[in-house]
Amino acid sequence: MDTPQQTTVGKHNGHAHIQGWGADLDHENRPAYPKERTPPRLEGLHWHEPDQQAISQEVLHSNERPGLTPVFGTSVPPSGLSGMIRRSAFKYSENDMRHWLMLLLADRINMLEGLGDDLMHGHIPNIFAEMGWKSELKYNRAGAIKKVAIASAVVGLGYYLLKQRKQRY
Amino acid sequence: MLAMDYRGPYRIRVTQKPEPQIEHPNDAIVRVTRSCICGSDLHLYHGMVPDTRVGSTFGHEFVGIVEEVGPSVEKLKVGDHVLVPFNIFCGSCFFCQKELYGNCHNTNPEATAVGGIYGYSHTAGGYDGGQAEYVRVPMADIAPTVIPTNMDLDDAVLLTDVFPTGYQAAEMGEIKEGDTVVIFGAGPVGIMAAKSAWILGAGRVIVVDHIDYRLEFVRNFAQCEIVNFKDVRDMAIHIKKMTDWLGADVCIDAVGGEAMGDFMQTLTGAKMKLQAGAATALHWCINSVRKGGVVSIVGVYGPTFNAVPIGNAINKGLTLRMNQASVKRHLPRLIEHIQAGRIEPKQIITHRLPLEEVADAYHIFANKLDNCIKTVLIPPRAVH
């Protein structure tokens, strides 16, 4: 344990009870000062440019750069209808709102594709478990009951209105 | 291996997935021993980040043991227990050469505005994250840091993001001795920013939130003043009253796009997604800081746009500082702070759950149930 660094400004020495107060007051002690610092203080750097990662699957890239980066992730390649939308989205730059809106649309469609994929593989997803409802019942039982009641009321009202409409015609 | 599996907004589960492979000569495969859920993971969980694909594994805060290394790895050894900064960076590009590792230009093909980040959508490079038993770690010779033998793993895992981000939030505030620093958000990053503001020599630290248990925690942990914004009619007036009607020297946005406190911002930003998140905290920062003051932003927003009073920022002559934390450059000093006893990050950990219960872990954290501040996931193979 260290003692707080004493400074020349007396009015702030009332912080002696705060562990570590002023330890990085000096810019020399601030690791991110100045904002841009060259050369980097890195150990183990033994390349001028990283090797190019082998391309084993479709990887989309921003059209604000000439091609793929030397290193990239391979989490989930684009596929299906959402993949088609993603490919189209990457025809627009990050500067173009259509790029992002199309990606968000693709995400929502991808969610439906995921449900379809589950069912095609004979897996019925346990939506309540996936949404963590066990913890909701454990830690917020009253809130959970309230949410279920509201949802039931909304569904019930919708059903009633639909039934009324059908009877009218 | 067991891994967290994103199925769509608010829906996740654990699934058996193939173990990661060496894909680049400087890759390593790490067996995860601790993984956290970050507040920014909630933006993914809530479907706010474009190009978050079903089947992705989240998690950018993790530590683990090196199981395998690629052919060009010289420094890292199998068996090393490492903490892995959330930034994936090459060390050699234009930006890394300036130690801006959060802005690396060589690790994210899918967007130029952000570098690669583990488990943070294809907008951040399409890497699987550490909420799994194993994870692929690129640039193994420069990014991971071997955990000091006397360091608790819980402290180490908080050095991968939370503590460096909180520290950089305070550091970007360009705090001078005696400055009044207001931090919006008493989540893990806000808590670390409050403690860091003292380390940087602040004269007064005020934390604003609306969750009482978190405010109580930060008051005890960081010995700061607290404000519950539910008790405040107008935030800018309140902060000005607290600061001789001048405003704070430094305001920090440690909330980002899921902010509460302004109905229209929450409706259009967080719920309807018509803007890149609710910019309430940023709005308050700009209007609560003094003329000529500094606003530091580490809260995460999406890539589209936000409604903020930029005209006020101009008229007040503000300095706006913001970035993803450049974790690697902070680590040596922050390790010193922990080892000197100036801060004990692990105190913020309130929940530990097995990876198998990841859906409940997210739900607890997202809904702030059971006085949750920080959740750690333990994979089944962590102890073998």
The model's pLDDT over A95-113, given as tens digits with 9 standing for 90+, comes to 999 999 999 999 999 999 9
- Residue B176, classed as helix, strand or coil, is coil
Q: Is residue A25 part of a domain?
A: yes
What are the CB-based long-range contacts (under 8 Å, 24+) for B237-241? B239/B182, B239/B206, B239/B288, B240/B288
A110 shares its domain with A137: no
Give the pLDDT confidence score for residue A165 in this predicted structure. Answer: 80
Q: What is the mean pLDDT of residues A86-100?
A: 97
For A40, the token pair is 């980097």
Cβ-Cβ pairs closer than 8 A, A with B, add up to 269
| Beta carbons within 10 angstroms of residue A59's beta carbon | 19
Q: CB distance B363–A69 less than 8 Å? A: no
- For residue B289, the surrounding DSSP H or E stretch is strand B289-297
Give the pLDDT confidence score for residue A12 in this predicted structure. Answer: 54
Alpha helical stretches, state H, B188-325: 188-199, 212-222, 235-242, 263-265, 280-288, 310-316
Give the pLDDT confidence score for residue A50 in this predicted structure. Answer: 96
Spatial CA neighbour of B172 closest among B252, B285, B279:
B252
Number of domains in chain A: 3
pLDDT tens digits, one per residue of A66-81: 999 999 999 999 999 9
Mean pLDDT of chain A: 90
A66 shares its domain with A118: yes
A104 shares its domain with A78: yes
Binding-face residues of A in 83-112 toward B, CB within 8 A:
86, 90, 94, 97, 100, 103-104, 106-108, 110-111
Spatial CA neighbour of B37 closest among B66, B7, B57:
B57
- For residue B296, the surrounding DSSP H or E stretch is strand B289-297
Q: Is residue A158 part of a domain?
A: yes
Q: Is residue A52 part of a domain?
A: no
pTM greater than 0.80: yes
Give the pLDDT confidence score for residue B384 in this predicted structure. Answer: 53
CA distances (Å), B205 to each of A35, B25, B180, B209, in order? 23, 46, 6, 13
Give the pLDDT confidence score for residue A10 in this predicted structure. Answer: 41
* DSSP output for B9-24: TTEEEEEE-PPP---S
Asked if the C-beta of A79 comes within 8 angstroms of chain B's C-beta atoms, the answer is: no
Spatial CA neighbour of B137 closest among B73, B229, B183, B193:
B73
Write the residue in A30, A39, A94 that is nearest to B303 by C-beta: A94
Q: Is the pLDDT of residue A9 over 50?
A: no
A83 shares its domain with A102: yes
Q: Is residue A12 part of a domain?
A: yes
Mean pLDDT per 10-residue run, chain B (384 residues)? 97 97 98 97 95 98 98 97 98 97 97 97 98 98 96 97 98 97 98 98 97 98 97 97 97 95 92 90 98 97 92 98 96 97 97 97 97 97 75
Give the pLDDT confidence score for residue A163 in this predicted structure. Answer: 87
Q: CB distance B92–A36 less than 8 Å? A: no
Sequence-ordered list of residues with C-beta below 8 angstroms from that of A72, at least 6 positions apart, any chain: A53, A59, B107, B108, B109, B110, B116, B125, B126
Range of the domain at A105: 62-125
Q: Is the pLDDT of residue A5 over 50?
A: no
Chain A environment of B303 (Cβ under 8 Å): 94, 100
Q: Is the pLDDT of residue A164 over 90?
A: no
What is the set of domains in chain B, with CATH numbers?
2-161+326-383 (3.90.180.10), 165-322 (3.40.50.720)
For A78, the token pair is 């684009």
- For residue B206, the surrounding DSSP H or E stretch is strand B204-209
